Amino acid sequence: MTTKTSLLKVILLGDGGVGKSSIMNRYVTNKFDAHLFHTIGVEFLNKELEVDGNQVTLQIWDTAGQERFRSLRTPFYRGSDCCLLTFSVDDNQSFINLGNWKKEFIYYADVKEPEKFPFVVLGNKVDVTERQVSTEEAQQWCQENGNFPYYETSAKDATNVAVAFDEAVRRVLALEERTDHLIPTDTVKLHRKPRSATSCCS
Amino acid sequence: MADLMLPESRRCNNFFLYDGSKVRGESDQTREGICYFYPEETPLDEQELLCGQLAGAGRCVSELSSSPVRILNLHRHKFAIRMEDEFFWALGCSVEVPTVSVCELLDQLINLFCFYNGSVRQSYQLNSQETLAARWAQYLSHLQSGSSELQHIFSCLKTIDSTNVDPLLLLKAALILQACQRCPLVLAGCILFRGRVVSTQMSPQLTMKVMVHESTTYTKPQRPNGPSSSFGGAVSSTTVFLTPSELRYLQSAPVNKDFSSHSTPHKNTPLKKTRLSRTLSDTPSSTESEPSDPGNSQSPQKLLSPHLSVSSMFSQDPSQSTPNPPPPQPLEPPLSNGKHSPEECPSPEALEESYYHSFHSNGDGGSQIDNGGDTSAGTEESHDHQVSEEVRGRGSGIVPGHKVERSDPPHSDAFEHPGETPLIPMTLYLHRVKGLVLALLVEPHFLSDTASMEEVYHSSLASLNGLEAHLRSVSPGAPGALGPYIFAHFDCIQSTLTSNLSGRPGGAPEQPFVRATSLLHSHFCNTETLQEAIIRSAGAAVYGTRSVAQETYFQQHGGSLRNSGIPNHQDSAFSLPGKARHRLLKHGVNLL
């Protein structure tokens, strides 16, 4: 068996200002910049990981949370392997909007089986003292909406950021393994397109 | 996007550089002095003939008239000429090509060479003739390649087709550049996509120069990402040489001001060596390219906001009886917007710096106003600052409120003399993400400053990745059928061209339009007071109008021209100005 290098696309969604870009930057470059501008459209960074002897390139897509950037970001939902729904624990509205983000993602990413898609929920900015969303509330929402794993993170002081991404990767790989069992890959495809004489003209 | 490219659009028939210092005595052969000759396959005898005759004629005429020759018009050809100390350049084109375009092409070529190699004399001392011949050939082919005939006429920047691109993406590009400038070693930058400008902080001339290196690195195969380098193969750099005025212009950007005192050791030294002010009378009288051509001139305020510069630069122009609206609001916000440093509001000092960059100490305490003497059309507040600062801060030798009428541009490539002025080495840093390139002009020690390099690299990487993904997914607009009209709109300030011809393969229907545009552009360049003209043949009429900031050309298709030979109010050509105004509004061109 060869060790395959697979690319996993993970997308961060959530209201503007909850800290999606900061989470990505913290995870990939281990830096925090308090003066980031709004993300316009989408951005992404790659991070190489080794999981169970397999090289994995994690491609983390950071998106613009503001409504006015919607048409720019939605075309890039497609092909995501995991979605990190992000809110800020000091902003109740961003928590309330999680459901909308989930809906938007499922619609534009054209997810075939939404109930099986790996979502992970992040409550960011736990370093802030004035919380508006309690851990219990968030956990309850996650349970009611598909039993999503929930992490309380802080991009500012690096709390739980790596742990959350590790969980995302684990979820995706676990799902792939399950589907790998269903569709064995070491078979011969009988329906391969025959080489025809017309191929030279294409 | 295939540009309209005509087989005969090779602009240059001949080009040579002749070094007179190599041919002094009777026994010296002309060929000794030929540094480079294009086309290279020309027999040496012919090369000698042309070099000898043109150089002789050029010298003779310039000595008799005691002003340098800029153009030699022959029956079928015209030659743009440049003479600097012992060097003699000539670039030959067909007479069809507007004189101003030929001269611009030659200037661009020489300036390109100096940008990448430093002074010509020194380059020929340090490098072999073959090496440099390859470079001349490279620059020449770059300047002639891939552009439409219209673009050649205006020598304009190749920009992305902004009609298909979400303006927010242009904003994104501008913000990436501003974020890079948070590093004090970064002077200015531009972002290019597939050889076209997405956003730039540099003057059009400087942007054009940077684009040559971009195109050469693009054609090279990408090196695989080496594990040893943290930047992989995506980052490259090269030494470039800026003229003192280019550097001054870059350093005048307000965003740099906070840092420049400690980060730019070269800053003040070269300034004193240049002429502090050039006036119109300083320019050669034989030249056909106008010193006041706004296409060549740059206001330092432009970096601040092109919108502001247009109005301020020309607010005193008496020829502008009906003030034209500034060109469509640029999408880049003023530079200070994206800066999130504590000094969000510029201090009076910063304002003084940004509006006063063009005040140079003459060394003996006297000062001169170079440009930007009037910013009244801009923000009133800053203008007030200017006046008060003038009195308070730099009082010596300045009359408060004194204004220089239409002072000369601080920088004009055409009249820069790279052979004479000392050039300042800088570094061009390139970060490529597939078809997207971030090009930054940085202080030379940026490369040895790992922390700065990493900061710039990491702070821009995600955004560049994203911008590349966005731009790649933008589908080029369908070329569509030729509409009922053709137009070309040239923004002289940003040196950009908008036309509904771009992206269309060259064809017969637009030939009359291109020729008429070329002719009208020539006339506009030669006749400063000319504002509107209609040029016509038996089958077509093209309307041209210009202001200090823009030139617009318009042709309406269909409907026979009712031209009886005598003035006739029913002549459809007379309705062209009205139609142009009406039709072009939806293209963002306001001729009202």
Tens-place pLDDT, residues A55-82: 889 999 999 999 999 999 999 999 999 9
CB contacts, 8 Å: A75 with chain B: 473
The answer to whether the CB atoms of B470 and A25 lie below 8 A apart is no
Whose CA is closest to B277, among B199, B359, B353, B198?
Answer: B359
- Write down the pLDDT at residue B532: 94
Whether pLDDT at A178 is above 60 = yes
Contacts across the A-B interface (CB distance below 8 Å): 49
* Residues of B (195-254) whose Cβ lies below 8 Å from A: none
Chain A residue nearest residue B340, CA to CA: A35
- Chain B: closest CA distance from residue A163 (Å): 21
CB A86 within 8 A of CB A37: no
Chain B residue nearest residue A30, CA to CA: B458
The answer to whether the CB atoms of B462 and A72 lie below 8 A apart is no
Lowest pLDDT segment from A84-88, B73-77, B106-110, B183-187:
B73-77
Chain B residue nearest residue A36, CA to CA: B340
Query: Residue B238 is encoded by which pair of tokens?
Result: 């090269």
CB contacts, 8 Å: A27 with chain B: none
Whose CA is closest to A159, among A9, A22, A56, A15?
Answer: A22
- pLDDT band of residue B161 (cuts 50, 70, 90) is confident
Q: In what order do the strands lie in the sheet with A54-63?
A: A42-51, A54-63, A6-14, A82-88, A119-124, A150-152
- Write down the pLDDT at residue A51: 79
The answer to whether the CB atoms of B169 and A45 lie below 8 A apart is no
- Write down the pLDDT at residue B253: 62
Q: What is the mean pLDDT of residues A79-93?
A: 96
Task: Find all residues with CB under 8 Å of B348, minimum gap 6, and list them.
Answer: B385, B389
CB contacts, 8 Å: B169 with chain A: 40-41, 72
Chain A residue nearest residue B227, CA to CA: A48
User: CA–CA separation, B4 vs B501, rounded Å?
Assistant: 8
User: CA–CA separation, B267 vs B261, rounded Å?
Assistant: 8
Residue B458 at interface with chain A, using a CB cutoff of 8 Å: yes
Q: What is the mean pLDDT of residues A135-150?
A: 95
Residue A108 at interface with chain B, using a CB cutoff of 8 Å: no
Q: Which of B164, B165, B168 to mutate to test the interface with A (most CBs of A within 10 A)?
A: B168
User: CA–CA separation, B580 vs B553, rounded Å?
Assistant: 8
Residue B177 at interface with chain A, using a CB cutoff of 8 Å: no
Chain A residue nearest residue B170, CA to CA: A40
- Write down the pLDDT at residue B519: 92
A40 closest CB neighbour out of B172, B458, B469: B172
Q: B251 in helix, strand or coil?
A: helix
- Chain A: closest CA distance from residue B340 (Å): 6
- Write down the pLDDT at residue B27: 84
The answer to whether the CB atoms of B465 and A44 lie below 8 A apart is yes
Residue A32 at interface with chain B, using a CB cutoff of 8 Å: no
Task: Give the CA angle between residues B335, B470, B479 to the nearest 5°.
Answer: 105
- Chain B: closest CA distance from residue A36 (Å): 8
- Write down the pLDDT at residue B587: 85
Chain A residue nearest residue B175, CA to CA: A37
Tell me the backbone φ, ψ of residue B263, rounded to 5 degrees. Answer: -105, -10
Interval B462-520: pLDDT, tens:
999 999 999 999 876 665 556 788 999 999 999 999 888 765 555 666 788 998 999 99
Residue B166 at interface with chain A, using a CB cutoff of 8 Å: yes
pTM for this one? Answer: 0.74
CB contacts, 8 Å: A69 with chain B: 168
Residue B163 at interface with chain A, using a CB cutoff of 8 Å: no
CB contacts, 8 Å: B340 with chain A: 35, 37
Query: Residue A181 is encoded by which pair of tokens?
Result: 């069992």
Lowest pLDDT segment from A13-22, A63-72, A190-199:
A190-199
- Write down the pLDDT at residue B355: 32
User: CA–CA separation, B68 vs B64, rounded Å?
Assistant: 10
CB contacts, 8 Å: B467 with chain A: 41
For every residue of B523-580, DSSP letters joined together read HHHH-TT--EEEEE-SS-EEEEEE-SSEEEEEEE-SS-----SS--TT-GGGGHHHHH
For every residue of A78-141, DSSP letters joined together read TT-SEEEEEEETT-HHHHHTHHHHHHHHHHHTT-S-GGGS-EEEEEE-TT-SS-SS-HHHHHHH
Whether pLDDT at B428 is above 70 = yes
Lowest pLDDT segment from A125-129, B42-46, B507-511:
B507-511
Q: What is the mean pLDDT of residues B214-240?
A: 63
Query: Residue A117 is encoded by which pair of tokens?
Result: 């898609």
Chain A residue nearest residue B174, CA to CA: A40
